[in-house]
Amino acid sequence: MMWQHGWGAGEWLVMSLMMLIFWGALVAGAVWLVRNARRPLGHSTTGARQILDEKLARGEVTEEEYLRRRELLTR
């Protein structure tokens, strides 16, 4: 009988670990897909208003330029 020349208990341990890795990867992939499906394609999570606020804080735009651009964003 061929099955008597197997790995013994080690074979079951390896098969069990591989099964856990397989199901873990499957669940992790499903979670990743669900989380990323909510995010619109091609859009960043940072809004235009937040970027404009950061530019003002860094001094990249003047206050007048900031107010003009903020008004354009709210139209």
Specify the higher pLDDT residue, 69 or 40: 69
Q: Is residue 41 predicted with pLDDT exceeding 60? A: yes
d(CA 65, CA 57): 13
Residue with tokens 């107010």: 67
Predicted local confidence at residue 28, as pLDDT: 97
Predicted local confidence at residue 1, as pLDDT: 47
Cα torsion through 64, 67, 73, 75, rounded to 10: -110
Would the pTM count as exceeding 0.85? no
Q: What average pLDDT score do residues 36-63 get? A: 81
